[in-house]
Structure 1
Amino acid sequence: IKQLVIEGLYDLYSYDIKFDNEPNVQIVTGPNGFGKTTILQIINHFCSRQFWYFYFLPFSTIKIQFDSNVSFCLNRKVNRTSISGVLIDATVHIEMNKDGNRIEIADLDVVYISNLLKYYGIQPNEDFDYSRIDEKLDWKYLYQNDTFVMNNYPKILDFLEGRECIMIKEQRLVNYLRTTDDKLPVKTVDDIQKYIEEFFLIAQKAYNLMSLKVDGSFVKRLSNLAENKTIKHIKRDVIHKQVLDKIAKFKKYGLVGELEIVEKLGIHYEEVLKLYLKDLDNKLSTLSPFYARLSTFDQLVSSKGLSYKHLAFKDGKMYVISESGHEIPPHNLSSGEQNLLVLCYKLVFGLSNSKILLIDEPENSLHMAWLDKLLEDYLQTAKVTGCQMIIATHSPTFIHGRWNLTYDLCENGEIQEFKRNG
Structure 2
Amino acid sequence: MRIKQISVSGLFGIFDHVIPLNMDERITIIHGPNGFGKTAILRILNSFFNSQYSELRAIPFKQFCLEFDDNSSIEIIKNTDNSEEAEKNNIVFKFYQPYSEPVYFSLKPRKIRSDRGFPIMILDSGIQERHSPLKSMDIRAGETLFYGEAIEHFENFSSSNLKFQKEPDWLEQLKSNIHIRLIESQRLLNFVPNCSSTRSAETPSILSTVSAYSDELAKLMQDKFKEYGTISQSLDRTFPIRVVKQQPSTDLTDEQLRHQLNELEATRSRLIEVGLLDKDEDAEFQIQPQDIDESTKNALSVYVQDVEKKLSVFAEIASKIDLLRKIINNKFAYSYKEINFSKEKGFVVTTSYGSSLSNSKTLLPTDLSSGEQHELVLLYELLFCYF
TM-score, with structure 1 as normaliser:
0.71
For residues 274-313 of structure 1, the aligned pairs below 5 Å read 274-305=301-332, 307-313=335-341
Q: Distance in 1 between matches of 2:152 and 2:294?
A: 70
User: Would you say the 8 A contact 1:180–1:186 is kept in 2?
Assistant: no
3-state secondary structure, aligned to 2:181: strand
Q: Distance in 1 between matches of 2:33 and 2:270?
A: 46
1:76 maps to 2:67: no
The alpha-carbon distance between structure 1 residues 138 and 21, as it changes in their structure 2 partners (threshold 3 A), is: farther
State the match for 1:391 in structure 2: none
Give the superposition deviation at 1:326.
Answer: 2.9
Q: Distance in 2 between matches of 1:135 and 1:303?
A: 45
Structure number, greater radius of gyration? 2
Question: Residue deviations 1:217-241, cap 9 Å, x none?
Answer: 4344323321768867982111111
3-state secondary structure, aligned to 1:161: helix
State the match for 2:374 in structure 1: 339
Equivalent in 292, 308, 314 of residue 342 of structure 2:
314
User: Would you say the 8 A contact 1:5–1:63 is kept in 2?
Assistant: yes
Q: Distance in 1 between matches of 2:152 and 2:190?
A: 13
Letter in 1 for 2:77: N
Equivalent in 121, 134, 140 of residue 157 of structure 2:
140
The alpha-carbon distance between structure 1 residues 138 and 202, as it changes in their structure 2 partners (threshold 3 A), is: farther
Q: Distance in 1 between matches of 2:55 and 2:101?
A: 23
The alpha-carbon distance between structure 1 residues 209 and 229, as it changes in their structure 2 partners (threshold 3 A), is: farther
Q: Distance in 1 between matches of 2:102 and 2:253?
A: 56
Give the superposition deviation at 1:314.
Answer: 2.3
State the match for 2:168 in structure 1: 153
User: Would you say the 8 A contact 1:239–1:274 is kept in 2?
Assistant: no
Q: Distance in 2 between matches of 1:141 and 1:107?
A: 20
State the match for 1:371 in structure 2: none
Give the superposition deviation at 1:108.
Answer: 1.9
Q: Distance in 2 between matches of 1:189 and 1:6?
A: 35
Identity %, equivalent residues: 21
**Can you give the 5+ residue segments of structure 1 that lack an aligned partner in the other structure?**
353-422
User: Would you say the 8 A contact 1:5–1:16 is kept in 2?
Assistant: yes
State the match for 1:372 in structure 2: none
Q: Distance in 2 between matches of 1:325 and 1:106?
A: 60
Give the superposition deviation at 1:196.
Answer: 1.1
Equivalent in 168, 180, 191 of residue 183 of structure 2:
168
Equivalent in 33, 55, 58 of residue 57 of structure 2:
55
Range with greater deviation from structure 2 (33-42 or 52-61): 52-61
3-state secondary structure, aligned to 1:201: helix
Give the superposition deviation at 1:254.
Answer: 2.3
3-state secondary structure, aligned to 1:101: coil
Q: Distance in 2 between matches of 1:287 and 1:73?
A: 43
Give the superposition deviation at 1:292.
Answer: 0.7
State the match for 1:271 in structure 2: 298
Question: Residue deviations 1:25-53, cap 9 Å, x none?
Answer: 11111111111111110111111122343
Letter in 1 for 2:342: K
Give the superposition deviation at 1:193.
Answer: 0.5
Give the superposition deviation at 1:348.
Answer: 2.2
User: Would you say the 8 A contact 1:55–1:108 is kept in 2?
Assistant: no
3-state secondary structure, aligned to 1:165: coil
State the match for 1:357 in structure 2: none
Q: Distance in 2 between matches of 1:158 and 1:202?
A: 32
Which one scores higher on RCO, CA 8 angstroms, separation ≥ 6?
1
The alpha-carbon distance between structure 1 residues 97 and 215, as it changes in their structure 2 partners (threshold 3 A), is: farther
Q: Distance in 2 between matches of 1:4 and 1:180?
A: 44
3-state secondary structure, aligned to 1:112: coil
The alpha-carbon distance between structure 1 residues 203 and 128, as it changes in their structure 2 partners (threshold 3 A), is: closer
User: Would you say the 8 A contact 2:340–2:347 is kept in 1?
Assistant: yes
CA RMSD of aligned residues (A): 3.5
Q: Give the total of aligned pairs.
A: 343
Equivalent in 311, 319, 326 of residue 361 of structure 2:
326
The alpha-carbon distance between structure 1 residues 14 and 243, as it changes in their structure 2 partners (threshold 3 A), is: same
The alpha-carbon distance between structure 1 residues 232 and 347, as it changes in their structure 2 partners (threshold 3 A), is: same
Letter in 1 for 2:67: Q
For residues 253-268 of structure 1, the aligned pairs below 5 Å read 253-257=274-278, 258-260=281-283, 261=285, 262-263=287-288, 264=291, 266-268=293-295
The alpha-carbon distance between structure 1 residues 14 and 145, as it changes in their structure 2 partners (threshold 3 A), is: farther
Q: Distance in 2 between matches of 1:284 and 1:234?
A: 22
Give the superposition deviation at 1:336.
Answer: 1.2
Q: Distance in 1 between matches of 2:69 and 2:150?
A: 33
1:250 maps to 2:255: no
